[in-house]
Amino acid sequence: MSQLAQLSEAELEERFHITGRRAIALTLEGLARAGERFTVHFGQELMLTTLLAANAERGELVFDRGGSEILNRHLLDWGQCTFVARPEGVLVQFAVEEVRPVSYAGRLALVAQLPPFILRLQRRESFRILTPRSRPLDFQARVGAAEEAITLPVHDISVEGIGLTVARRIPGLERGALLHDCSFQLAEGTVPIACTGEVRHVTEVEGRNGVKSWRVGVSFLDLPPGAAHDIQRYIIRVERERSDLL
């Protein structure tokens, strides 16, 4: 049994989640002092920002406005958003529910309530597993300007992204492309996870029979709150089931 599969739910949260208002504020304040750049994902849009201050007493996070006033207005209208950064290769992700305008240090900024937790995951802890053939996963996404989403089989998955198998080259499915209206369901009867994806690589694979296919690696850009934890639990469940068969 892998080390990951042996972790309980409580151990997972202890290992990967930063919780508690003061600990969260101190973590975000440190990232603010370091000038770490965050990507803010909301709806189908994203913008870059830096954190300005985190206050445990008021339970608030202040961050810089984006360079586009149109995006700033869209963010204020949308409210819910996800912050993602990778300082020194460590994934830091958290979500807030509502964003408001504020004046900070004599300039316009944005403010939200502190998140309930911060997901902090080192690259070596970003476990990736092959999805079970007995319960295959499907990934729906809209490629380029297409009006309808296509469905592709999932080869592997981690909390940072998903690997797809494609039997033919699909126009627009190339490195750097954004995939919109993405959706996948970890188990029957569960709520599908919706997000935006970015194609990181497209690799040609030739099988033993000479038939070619392509592996497409997709990074998650804006997982909803709690989705990363759901994926981690799915990975653990599959690992435990495989270990039981050995």
> Is residue 227 in some structural domain?
yes
> Is residue 211 in some structural domain?
yes
82 lies in the same domain as 135: no
> Is residue 188 in some structural domain?
yes
Mean of pLDDT values over 215-229? 84
Instruction: Give the pLDDT confidence score for residue 5 in this predicted structure.
Output: 46
CATH of the domain at 51: 2.30.110.10
pLDDT digits (tens, 9 = 90+) for 23-35: 999 999 999 999 9
Question: Confidence band (pLDDT; 50, 70, 90) for 13?
Answer: low
> Is residue 4 in some structural domain?
no
41 lies in the same domain as 111: yes
Domain that holds residue 20: 9-124
3-state secondary structure 158-193: CCCEEEEEECCCCCCCCCCCEEEEEEECCCCCCCCE
Domain boundary among 124, 143, 166: 124
Instruction: Give the pLDDT confidence score for residue 4 in this predicted structure.
Output: 45
Domain boundary among 106, 124, 142: 124
pLDDT digits (tens, 9 = 90+) for 174-214: 888 999 999 999 987 788 999 999 998 888 877 767 788 88
Mean of pLDDT values over 167-179? 88
pTM over 0.85: no
For residue 70, what are the contacts with CB-CB under 8 A and spacing of at least 6? none
Q: Are 61 and 96 in contact (CB under 8 A)?
A: yes
> Is residue 41 in some structural domain?
yes
> Is residue 3 in some structural domain?
no
Mean of pLDDT values over 165-182? 89
Give the total number of structural domains in the chain.
2
Mean of pLDDT values over 108-136? 80
100 lies in the same domain as 180: no
163 lies in the same domain as 64: no
Question: Confidence band (pLDDT; 50, 70, 90) for 114?
Answer: very high
120 lies in the same domain as 131: no
For residue 104, what are the contacts with CB-CB under 8 A and spacing of at least 6? 52, 53, 62, 111
User: What backbone phi and psi angles, to 5 degrees, belong to 98?
Assistant: -150, 140
Mean of pLDDT values over 113-138? 78
